[in-house]
Amino acid sequence: MKKTSTRLADGRELIYYDTRDDAVRTAPDTRPLDAVTTTSEIRRDPLLGDSVAIASHRQGRTYHPPADECPLCPSAPGRPTEIPDTSYDVVVFENRFPSLSGDAGRCEVVCFTPDHTASFADLTEAQAALVLDAWTDRTAELSHLPSVAQVFCFENRGAEIGVTLGHPHGQIYAYPFVTPRTALMLRSLAAHRAATGRNLFDDVLTAERAAERVVLDAEHWVAFVPYAAHWPYEVHLHPKRRVPDLLALDGPARAEFPRVYLELLKRFDRIFGEGEPPVPYIAAWHQAPFGEPDAYDGIGRQDFALHLELFTIRRTSGKLKFLAGSESGMSVFINDVPPEAAAERLREVAS
């Protein structure tokens, strides 16, 4: 992998990740851009104890432009974009409309491919491996920022999810706090350790591998529909050797990941049969927070288990799972698809 860092016309950082060591990236950003101004601030809810990002400047962000005006495609003569070069392998750059900025964190965009009509599932294994390298490198770099407590790499696909740009891409959020979801996991880890002396992630993985909800069991990775799945079709992908983050993955697990992950994405596109529009999904990496060790009753980074959650909000053909009163009002999910049935379907559509 070759990494080339440059700056856009408004000062934002842009990084090319190339598979070829002889790749040269010198094209300048010729757009007359003003410096980015943001209104991001973090406010803490005194009753729930969680944090909310207030970012009113995002109201003006780019919204579903036509394909010939896509800002994530490579630049072309007379049509400069966010990526100055006329081609790229993988590109990461600071978001022009960030939810988090400055002391409130950082937001980056990850472009997986220059092909506007593709999706992650269309990548080759070599391309997917390069994306994994980019996620890992950005996790390492962002973890060194003094304001960053947690790095979150994720992809939203589909207008139903809320994506405003159709080009295949993901994002990376560097939070200045430990997210509520992760804090809950850490508290559960601490309680389980106090009650049993064991690691909760290890025990969950052992139980799930013995159940009927495993959908893919590779040499270094295992994917399953969790016992208490929140979403109609939800898969958790774990390396079999517990590690806290992407940086700690060993060579064999890194080498196997592209094949395993691409297979899972292709299965998601087959769930509802041929002729259906692409399945909207969220793919989210859960990594251990950075910062003070043993911050949660003796639970440290080494106790956390890196894993990826992949889920769709489509519950059946032509119907979406909406968060209604119970989910949005009280955070109690109601799942219409039994996890065992979801796992069986995901096994049926294997390549």
Please spell the DSSP secondary structure of 273-301, one letter per residue: -TTPPPPPEEEEEE-PPPSSTTTBTTB-G
What is residue 138's three-state secondary structure?
helix
What is residue 136's three-state secondary structure?
helix
**Identical topology for domains 2-175 and 180-348:** yes
Residue 246: which of 125, 94, 131, 342 has the closest Cα? Answer: 131
pLDDT computed for residue 62 by the predictor: 79
CATH number assigned to the domain covering 2-175 = 3.30.428.10
Domain residue ranges of the chain, discontinuous segments joined by +: 2-175, 180-348
214 CB-near residues (< 8 Å, 6+ apart): 208, 222, 223, 224, 343
Cα separation, 176 vs 285, in Å, equals: 17
Residue 321: which of 167, 161, 95 has the closest Cα? Answer: 161
Cα separation, 282 vs 167, in Å, equals: 15
* Tens-digit pLDDT profile for residues 224-247: 999 999 999 999 999 999 999 999
Catalytic residues: 169
pLDDT computed for residue 276 by the predictor: 86
What is residue 9's three-state secondary structure?
coil
Q: pLDDT (tens digit, 0 to 9) for every residue of the chain, 351 residues total?
A: 999 999 999 999 999 999 999 999 999 999 999 888 888 899 999 999 999 999 888 877 777 899 899 999 999 999 999 999 999 999 999 999 999 998 889 999 999 999 999 999 999 999 999 999 999 999 999 999 999 999 999 999 999 999 999 999 999 999 999 999 999 999 999 999 999 999 999 999 999 999 999 999 999 999 999 999 999 999 999 999 999 999 999 999 999 999 999 999 999 999 999 888 999 999 999 999 997 655 677 888 999 999 999 999 999 999 999 999 999 999 999 999 999 999 999 999 999
pLDDT computed for residue 103 by the predictor: 87
pTM above 0.85, yes or no: yes
**Domain 180-348 CATH class label:** alpha beta
Length of the chain as a residue count: 351
Neighbours of 63 (CB within 10 A): 8
What is residue 233's three-state secondary structure?
strand
* Tens-digit pLDDT profile for residues 307-331: 999 999 999 999 999 999 999 999 9
pLDDT computed for residue 297 by the predictor: 76
